[in-house]
Amino acid sequence: MHRLTVSTLFLAAATFAQNAPQREDMSNMSKDAHAPLFHTPKSAGKGMATDRLAAALPPSKSASTPVPQRNFVDKHVFGKMRRDGVPHAPLSTDQEFLRRVTLDLTGRIPSATDVREFLADRAPDKRAKRIASLLATPAFAEKWAYFYMDLFRANGKMMRGVNLFHQMFKDSLAADRPYDDLARSLIAASAKSNYVVAAANPIVREHVEGKPGEASHPDDLSKIHQMDTHDEISILFGKVFLGINLSCIACHDGKSHLEKVNVYLSTQKRSDFFQQAAFMGKMRYIPHVEYKEAKMGHFTVDDGGAGYDSKADSMLRIKRMGGASSPKFILTDETPATAGEPREELARMLTAHPQFARATVNMFWAKLMGVGIVDPFDEFDLARQDPRQLPAGWDLQPSHPELLEDMATWFRGNNYSVQGLFSLICNSSAYQLSARFPGEWNEGYSKYYARKFARMLGAEELHDAIALATDRPGKFGGARKRKQPVADEAPAVPTVGMAMQVSVPTAGGELKSFLQAFGQANRGTPAKPSQPSPLQPIMLMRSPVVNDRVLAAQDSRVQRLLDSYRDNGKVVDEMFLSTLAREPMPEEKSLALTVLDKNRVEGAQNVQWALLNLVEFLYNF
């Protein structure tokens, strides 16, 4: 394995000078520079992949003092490691922690000022104070609202409602709205127009377009296939709010299909799914009609329907074969109160069930820790959660069942506070462990969270990190270049510099190609974590998204540093702090100064380019 070092990248930068034609030729040297990114095996586990990537990091003096147990999260995580004789990494350094927590909570890298202030702070609680301050920033609401836009696949099917939906999440996260209240509003939303009621937009997003005259009920007033839409919404809410994938039993009984996949779902029938979907049975999806044409994406959502039809045809699945069509909650068999609206009753039952809290804390744990206690976070097998009642021949699904239960209990007892949950996890020593591991790594340690797992930055996150490191923001949103406006599309929004500030980044050209190469979600299918690919090193070396931003032009950071400091050493220090959240090592600084001394402008550009290509920059450790 070729270790990725600043030295290697400076050589690559010298070989591939800015604007030179030969830059298009990908030499062996540049492949070596990106080796950990380019050759990371897809089969590698989280811990082993981190071990490989961490070898590319510069040496660091991680704290060797005993790791303190700060809360009950640590009691469970470190207690299990002590019990099983599993060693763990030391605590992260202050530089590592600051960059990690800033990226995790806000999707951004810390500034040079942030780094200096944090390192100069000698208060014993400075990490806790930093976590609290980050949770109070607009960037926290922006980053996690963007996560929810991906989770709900918010796109053009919402039309003008998409920006309103995005704003709802930003407001809810900033105000720390109780998560159960937010969930109930989404499940039970009604609206004369989804352009004015934000919570109705996930329902609108899941609409299944049918054909005139082929709708499942005579009172359908549109091209919407009502029953299929009921099913799609039921699957969505099951995955997001319960962590259960009901899609298989929407098509067929679990028996003879899921025994080797999910014990719980193998016992469920298609008729059970029908009764779960029946909570949506009275809901209608009525497109607004203008000039005798239904405007798909602009909907009235109400509860004036006739109910769920368990014999209706389907455009997505095999014909429904009949059975009970009255609502019954799949986890408890509870039926709605006679006087209650079915969707409101479902919202009450679902958020009151312990699985709602379990699924939620596990989802956020997975996002912050790299792997869920149950993983994937939306594939719970409810028959394999209790070690005292484990089916014969099966392993326990959660890695830490007691921790999962205690976090779910804590979440319920703290008014379903998302900010509180993030604070609980980030303040734990388990979260704050180093990605570096002393000694030989055993992949069996991964299930213990014995080190912090490296995470590749998401596409939008990477763009924003490049923009911040170079002080060259992008241009998202703003007016559209159309000959004629389209009345029902999402309206133009003010131009902003960060990809994660808008509901749907309107990228085109080279930027679109760059984001797609790094895994930007298309929101037609569920979002997936970023994965290494051979295209990424080419993009990093050739794309204007990187190359134009490192030029000493257009008031970039490189230009301002060169204008502000005659001392090249100061220029190098500022580049490292602004890009990697650390000062350069002596050998790194010496090499960088050699490059700048030969040609100050071109040298500074090449140093900035090299830093942006480091695995240390591309991953969150």
Give tens-digit pLDDT for 188-244. Answer: 999 999 999 999 999 999 999 886 444 444 444 558 899 999 999 999 999 999 999
Q: Compute the distance between CA of residue 399 and CA of residue 370 in angstroms, rounded to an integer.
A: 13
Q: What is the pTM of this model?
A: 0.91
Q: Both tokens of residue 589?
A: 């600084």
Q: Is the pLDDT score of 5 beyond 70?
A: no
| Residue range 575-602, pLDDT digits in tens | 999 999 999 999 999 999 999 999 999 9
For 354, what's the count of Cα atoms within 13 Å in the CB-facing half-sphere?
A: 9
Give the pair of three-digit tokens for residue 255. 């028996």
Over residues 122-157, the pLDDT tens digits come to: 999 999 999 999 999 999 999 999 999 999 999 999
- Identify which of 400, 350, 399, 342 has the alpha carbon closest to the alpha carbon of residue 246: 350
| Amino acid 125: pLDDT | 97
Where does 317-456 have alpha helices with state H? 342-352, 354-369, 401-413, 418-426
Q: Please, are residues 437 and 77 in contact by the beta-carbon 8 Å criterion? A: no
19 contacts: CB under 8 Å, gap ≥ 6 = none
Residue 112 in tokens: 């040079």
Pair 216, 312: CB distance under 8 Å? yes
pLDDT for the residue 488: 56
Once rounded to an integer, what is the mean pLDDT over residues 266-294? Answer: 91
Give the separation between CA 364 and CA 416, rounded to whole angstroms: 13
